[in-house]
Structure 1
Amino acid sequence: MSAPFARMPAVVSEISPSYNLHDACFEDEPENPPHADALIPVTVSGYGMPVIPTEQQELVHHYLYNVLPIQYLLADPSISRFMFRLLQTNSVARDAACVLSALHLQHTRYNSRMLNIDFNFKRLESSLLCPNRPYTEGDAMAGLHIVSTFLFNGGRGPWDLYLDIASQYVTSVLHDPNFYGPEDVLKRCSDSTRFIIKTTMWFDVLASVTTQQVPRFLEVYRLLFGHAGGAYIDDPLSGAEEISMLPVMGCENHIVLAIAEISNLAVWKEGQRRRGCLSVPQLKKYLDAPGTPPAVHPPRPARTAPASTRTGTAPTWRRRTRRSRSGGSDNDIFRASARVYLHTVLSGDYPSCPEIMASVAETLECLHQVPTNMPSVSRGVVRSVVFGICISGCLTDDPRQRTFLLKMLETQQGESVGNVSEVRALMESVWARRENSQGRPRDLLLLV
């Protein structure tokens, strides 16, 4: 298997462009960076803690100071405490962070410097990709770091192998008999475990759009994020801080659940189509019939709901008119983008579909609210919501909308790493194929 910085075929993904690192806008180091000790939390740097090997100290310092703050833009700064503790105590997590750090250095200030990434990555492969191995918290964090390296370099490569490592660990924690269920896990587990669980779940939801598979933790999302029989796209409630996805991912719980349910619907619909038994009237009835076969009243026009799970049932989720209490542009864009995705699944990827046109317009209206007079803020928002830009761009034939979305992506073009160029190339390819009448492009869901 090639190292993550090599140009790879096979899986192409932005699992997300919407995820904060995916279009990674990595900055150069400040002229006078603080001493490495300033980055080491006092509570975990005392006597008796493992010492980071000398040959890795520079890369660990660079990771903590330059990469971590922008790898997870919305996370609380206290993340550095448990992250450093993991780097101290787990060699596999440290190796993975060093690979990511070295890759960043190679793309920015140290292009001519050999950082021996190949060797470190091969060592990681031999450590992590072992069959029938029970994975630890450090292994899970290492897997997430490696997913980040693939996304950091444009989103190509076998990222799914490493996401599976984190997913296996999360599964083991969620099934720990010492906890009463997923909510109890998130409320009682350590900060580092909670962060790994939330990050893995976010990757899982957005990866399902790329892979067109049912999200691995769909039932968990329903337990955690559903309430009163369903999740609501416009509901202001996100639950306790330990449960909320908003502080880490910028997306409220009910929207995370909505995207997962839409992916589930897409899988069900495609399965019906392949078997030659898809009935649109049946599908419409099924959308508003939680827990029953598709044979009940049709939905109201403004109401939407998910399809089957692996067992063929699902709760309903609906729109509400109240706005999110967060007021954050990231969350609003995710909400509007989820509607674009939903109507694409329901009606097909037809840019002239009225519901798709309205949802794209709503997404662009949210994007217009990004404060362009504050470059640091606007760049951070754009990095977080490339999912919305990509899916809206692929589903619009309006030249003005296309131009606006391209300009948003251009704000990231000066960066030496990331996947913005891949997203732009996809959008332009979709437009060209449509204009050349080569049929409806199916590439849309391969990159979001």
Structure 2
Amino acid sequence: MLSRPHTSELSPMYNAHWSDDDDTYTVIPSGYRLPTPLNTIHHNWMDPNNHQNSLLQHYMKHVLPIQFSHAEGSIDIIVWTLIHSSNTAREAACLLADLHLRSTTQSGSIGYNTPEDRDVYRHAQRAMKPVTEGDAFASLCMVSYLRFSGGQWRWQAFLDGACRFSLALLEGKHTSPASALMSCTESMRFIIKTSMWFDVLASATQIRRPMFEVLHSLYDPSGIALVDGRPELSMMDVMGCDTNIVIALAEIAGLAYWKEARSRTGSLSVPELVRRGQRIEAILNNTNVNNHSHGAETEKSRRRRLTSDVFRSSALVYLHSVLSGDHPLCPEILYNVTETIKCLGRTEDVGTARHVVRSVVFSICVCGCLTDDPAFRGYFLQLLQELQMETVGNCALVCDLMRRVWTSREGGTPVDWRVVMREILLV
């Protein structure tokens, strides 16, 4: 019997607090205190009206911890600065907060409603072609808005805008993308990494190459960049996923695209497909997996480690579906679906297990689509259904699409889960 999916509560609400005795802080419109180094841009900050101020408070306390649950503690100051120095960022954050407020008054689940008739959405459309960090952050907020509300395809224009903005910096005047990432501002680094992550997962369902082909040069698959202790190059502190696993996911998406293109022209070489797949599998197999917690690690680092383990095992499911086809009885697929469930099970004794489940909708979807085991299917469905009841998200849509895959496969014909999932962003 599978254990019951997680029932832990939401993460503690965001609460920015600095000592009132410290004179080096400046009070800004909403009452939060910001360090002195930020005072230099104080004159550019917006003074939101009361309604916006209320929405921004709600965003910081309730939405941001859901939107970027694995990000470092500095994310609060990064975001607070962006939404007070950029109209576009502030309006997008308000839109997200409003969505979350409406969801909490409708039993935790809302249907998708196109917000095109809203002035704030028209303003946020500027984020499709960002020219500032604030615009780029607004793009990512709009991706989250459309994902949380169940919007399909509409998020792609916003994601493309954030990716183009990020790539322009990475491919600019610096000697290498890695040096660009290490020397840029902390807020820009966060925007680049988040755009990169969304792009990799979008490429998986859309069967395309990731826009961030610079991943090859940003990160060394041997792990040298991480061994050298360069947190600026790590994805773990942004999305809770080991950098090498992100590389592998991007490589798998590229391999799926290559296979489909070669199959269409009748030029697919199966031995070459296998060779490429083995190189990706080696990256995943060489990535450390720690099944036990460390006494010194924090709650956040534990969540990241567990989340990364789930991504690793589900990435192997994804890889073997590309190599062998979408066959649930393929030994490698069956084994790694089981491993993914074991990884999810290891989070059940963690008070913040919901953080892990919320982060791995992609993993649950891939494994759910590629299992015919009724107990496994029920487990994945219950995880998503409980998560949907807790907060906004596209979990209900993912459940429906998984069921569509299962129904289509009842006749014995393999079903490409990526075709069925093509219209949604699984993050």
Q: Same fold (TM over 0.5)?
A: yes
Equivalent-residue separation in structure 2 for 1:90 and 1:36 (angstroms): 15
Determine which of 41, 55, 69 is the counterpart of 2:34: 41
Number of equivalenced pairs: 384
| Cα displacement (A) at 1:56 | 2.1
Q: What's the counterpart of residue 87 of structure 2?
A: 91
**Counterpart mapping for 1:40-59 below 5 A:** 40-43=33-36, 44=38, 48-54=43-49, 55-59=51-55
Residues 1:330 and 2:296 aligned together: no
User: Cα gap change, 1:322/1:255 in structure 2, threshold over 3 Å: closer, same or farther?
Assistant: closer
Identity of aligned residues (%): 39
1:255 maps to amino acid: I
Equivalent-residue separation in structure 1 for 2:11 and 2:331 (angstroms): 41
1:211 maps to amino acid: Q
Q: What's the counterpart of residue 274 of structure 2?
A: 284
Q: Which moved more, 1:57-66 or 1:246-255?
A: 57-66
Q: What's the counterpart of residue 179 of structure 2?
A: 184
8 Å CA contact 1:262–1:342 kept in 2: the answer is: yes
- TM-score under structure 1 length normalisation: 0.77
Residues 1:347 and 2:313 aligned together: no
User: Cα gap change, 1:52/1:170 in structure 2, threshold over 3 Å: closer, same or farther?
Assistant: same
1:105-153 deviation line (CA, Å, top 9, x unaligned)? 22224899xx99712102222x344xxx672211111111100101111
Equivalent-residue separation in structure 2 for 1:383 and 1:140 (angstroms): 23
Structure 1 gaps of 5+ residues are 1-24, 289-302, 307-315
User: Cα gap change, 1:329/1:344 in structure 2, threshold over 3 Å: closer, same or farther?
Assistant: same
Q: What's the counterpart of residue 7 of structure 1?
A: none
1:26-72 deviation line (CA, Å, top 9, x unaligned)? 89989xx9997453424446863523231522222221222112211
Q: What's the counterpart of residue 249 of structure 1?
A: 239
Residues 1:104 and 2:108 aligned together: no
User: Cα gap change, 1:38/1:93 in structure 2, threshold over 3 Å: closer, same or farther?
Assistant: same
Equivalent-residue separation in structure 1 for 2:259 and 2:202 (angstroms): 18
**Which structure has more helix as a fraction of its residues?**
2
Determine which of 216, 235, 255 is the counterpart of 1:222: 216
Equivalent-residue separation in structure 2 for 1:279 and 1:174 (angstroms): 34
Q: What's the counterpart of residue 386 of structure 1?
A: 361
User: Cα gap change, 1:354/1:244 in structure 2, threshold over 3 Å: closer, same or farther?
Assistant: same
1:189-225 deviation line (CA, Å, top 9, x unaligned)? 111001001100101111101211101112x211122
**Counterpart mapping for 1:290-305 below 5 A:** 303-305=278-280
Equivalent-residue separation in structure 2 for 1:373 and 1:319 (angstroms): 25
Structure 2 gaps of 5+ residues are 1-8, 19-27, 295-300
Determine which of 283, 286, 296 is the counterpart of 1:320: 286
- TM-score under structure 2 length normalisation: 0.81
User: Cα gap change, 1:51/1:373 in structure 2, threshold over 3 Å: closer, same or farther?
Assistant: closer
1:250-304 deviation line (CA, Å, top 9, x unaligned)? 001100000000000000000011112223234334x27xxxxxxxxxxxxxx44
2:104 maps to amino acid: T
User: Cα gap change, 1:26/1:109 in structure 2, threshold over 3 Å: closer, same or farther?
Assistant: farther
Equivalent-residue separation in structure 2 for 1:362 and 1:201 (angstroms): 26
8 Å CA contact 2:388–2:394 kept in 1: the answer is: no
8 Å CA contact 1:305–1:317 kept in 2: the answer is: yes
Q: What's the counterpart of residue 4 of structure 2?
A: none
SS in 2 for 1:305: helix
Q: What's the counterpart of residue 171 of structure 2?
A: 175
SS in 1 for 2:43: coil
8 Å CA contact 2:384–2:399 kept in 1: the answer is: yes
Measured on the aligned residues, the alpha-carbon RMSD in Å equals: 3.2
| Cα displacement (A) at 1:407 | 2.6
Q: What's the counterpart of residue 160 of structure 2?
A: 164
